[in-house]
Structure 1
Amino acid sequence: MTDENSTTGAYVTPGTEFTRDQRYIATRITADRRDGFPIEPGRYRLVVSRACPWANRAVIVRRLLGLEDAISMGICGPTHDRRSWTFDLDPGGVDPVLGIERLQDAYFARFPGYERGITVPAMVDVSSGKVVTNDYAQMTLDLSTQWRELHRQGAPDLYPEHLRDEIDAVALAVFRDVNNGVYRCGFAGSQAAYGRAYDRLFARLDWLTERLSTQRYLVGDTITEADVRLFTTLARFDAVYHGHFKCNRSKLAEMPVLWAYARDLFQTPGFGDTIDFDHIKRHYYAVHTDVNPTRIVPKGPDLTGWRTPHGREELGGRPFGDGTPPGPVHPGEEVPAEHTAGAMAG
């Protein structure tokens, strides 16, 4: 195990299969106050890193639902050490709202000596400085269902009740074989473990190709939580997973249906405008020293193709259903222009 990886629990153990520690803080922020944390505008701060695919989900959902004024956002830098994600992007290296240098301070404020991963995304109670939850899967569902009264006018329904069983089933398959599957490839401790993960990953991508060849979105005719969950992995596929994690049967750009689907979402407000390719590449290649001991960050690949036409409109569908696209990115939350697809030419 390397120190640089320990804050997220991602590392290589020789001879074994990678197993993700999924023991997250299960506290929820709900309308009925069931866990003592009610829905309250301005009370909580969402702490993320733009490098992290799990945090990227929360960034997208918060933006699509228009919760920027209700939930502030703190952005950690793309790299971390063995102790914690840090706020090195902020003046003085201190989060301007929480007043801390390291995310671990919010974890320790509630759980002294917290021994599991100091992970993003994390919801922090601003007044107490204590972490509330880091359960990323439940977090985005709660943003859709529990925070509804604070959604912007025209916010899409990302988790429609009549489609929840199908969304959950698709999202689970995507998590097991794709979202977590790329990590099972990258952190495999044996050839056999890598081979099993690789086969499952590309079998699932082939299944997704077939599903998306006749429909624009994963479930129904609008964007749902399932699309958000798949997109954040696809956005990182060619930049890091293909090479860094040895997921190299095909690049995303060589899988026509998935590549068009990913570009369709990337060009939809709320998706591509949350993607920081510079942070993504620097995080994976610099932090995962088990996989990349030199910490050299590759110059490629050429990412300008994300802006090219995708043609998915021909399949119909209504991206936001009866709702509307989100407005401009909230001031201060813009991805630097030099970190976007149009600027990353390799």
Structure 2
Amino acid sequence: MSVTPLATVRSAQPAPAFRGRIGRDARSGHYAVPRRYRLHLAPACPNGLRIAVVHSLLGLDDACPVTFLDAVPDGPDGGHSVLRPLYEASAHRYAGAAVGPVLSDDWSGRIVSTHAPDITRDLARHFGGGRTAPYPCGAESEIEAVERMCGQGIEQAAQAAGTAGPELAPGEGLDRLLETLGALERWLVGREYLIRDQITAADVELWVALVQLDTVHRHHLDAAVVHRIADHPVLWAYARRLAAHPAFGVHLDLDGIARRHHAHCQGLEAAGSAVQILDWAGHAGRSA
């Protein structure tokens, strides 16, 4: 199965502070041992939500414990003060923000990685144990294409549609956003999941992007624009189905998302704030 239309979109993610990987044996340094590693994440953060969903799909509560962070970082630099000791133990005189998500090594007390895609891939590769496979064999290029599409075609386009920016004018952002949603709407007709007959990391990526679109970005869009976004019934029915799945909806921290948004947002609220697309509260399982 091909998702060629998605593959033309390129992403521009900031470089992670740490990008270690979990290996297969002792020679790799960070090798796979149950309960050696710990996740530090806030489900109100998009990357934290992605990791939390994959972690639940894999059933890793015992093999890789999770420490949940507050939705709103308490540091003046946008970092979490509770993570500062980990960062300082991992890099001499670390001067950056102590941000989540983090995969840490309890044996050494240091950080393995702060790169969300690597973290989810390593958890699936080394701790999956035959459960639902978020990264099925042969699907990596399709998953990467969906990640790029969601990053630019939904996340960045929605931001540009809500406010003028250096890369896209608001009209261009809206056009790109609606084009992306339209392509996904057509793609999902007759399909339960995005690229396979099972849940994959592509579904996690798209679902988180849709959560952000409805709970964050619509607050800066006109009501008429939000109605156009909502006019993709197949796509939003897909989002609703996934929200009902126990590995997805349980991690929805709506209050945390709202607090995080208001703490960081500098844009003006628009009429779209009153036009909710889905009733996420019916599936939410966490509170801050």
1:141 pairs with one of 121, 126, 132? 121
Q: CA RMSD in A?
A: 3.1
Take 2:138 and 2:13, find their aligned partners in 1: how far apart are those partners?
Answer: 31
Whichever residue aligns with residue 115 of structure 2, its letter is: D
Give the equivalent residue in structure 2 for 1:166: 142
Tell whether the 8 Å contact from 2:38 to 2:64 is kept in structure 1 after alignment. yes
Take 2:180 and 2:278, find their aligned partners in 1: how far apart are those partners?
Answer: 26
Give the equivalent residue in structure 1 for 2:77: 83
CA 1:29 to 1:277, structure 2 compared with 1: closer, same or farther past 3 Å?
same
Give the equivalent residue in structure 2 for 1:58: 51
Instruction: Tell me by how many angstroms 1:223 deviates.
Output: 0.8
Whichever residue aligns with residue 121 of structure 2, its letter is: L
* Per-residue deviation, residues 212-265 of structure 1 (Å, max 9, x unmatched): 122111101111110001111212322211114779723554431111010000
CA 1:25 to 1:194, structure 2 compared with 1: closer, same or farther past 3 Å?
farther
Q: How does 1:45-124 map to 2 (within 5 A)?
A: 45-80=38-73, 81-86=75-80, 101-124=81-104
Instruction: Tell me by how many angstroms 1:157 deviates.
Output: 1.3
Whichever residue aligns with residue 123 of structure 1, its letter is: L
1:286 pairs with one of 252, 259, 263? 263
Whichever residue aligns with residue 208 of structure 2, its letter is: T
Whichever residue aligns with residue 256 of structure 1, its letter is: P
Instruction: In structure 2, list runs of 5 or more residues that go unmatched.
Output: 1-11
* Per-residue deviation, residues 316-335 of structure 1 (Å, max 9, x unmatched): xxxxxxxxxxxxxxxxxx61
Q: How does 1:319-338 map to 2 (within 5 A)?
A: 335-336=286-287
Q: Report % sequence identity.
A: 31
Instruction: Tell me by how many angstroms 1:184 deviates.
Output: 4.9
Give the equivalent residue in structure 2 for 1:230: 206
Instruction: In structure 1, list runs of 5 or more residues that go unmatched.
Output: 1-18, 87-100, 309-333, 340-346
Q: What is the count of residue pairs matched by the alignment?
A: 273
Whichever residue aligns with residue 102 of structure 1, its letter is: V
TM-score (norm 2): 0.82
Instruction: Tell me by how many angstroms 1:307 deviates.
Output: 7.5
Whichever residue aligns with residue 114 of structure 1, its letter is: Y
Instruction: Tell me by how many angstroms 1:168 deviates.
Output: 2.5
Instruction: Tell me by how many angstroms 1:79 deviates.
Output: 1.1
Give the equivalent residue in structure 1 for 2:131: 155
CA 1:227 to 1:254, structure 2 compared with 1: closer, same or farther past 3 Å?
same
1:239 pairs with one of 215, 218, 232? 215
Q: Are residues 1:267 and 2:244 paired? A: yes
Take 1:187 and 1:36, find their aligned partners in 2: how far apart are those partners?
Answer: 45
Query: Which of the two has greater helix per residue?
Result: 2
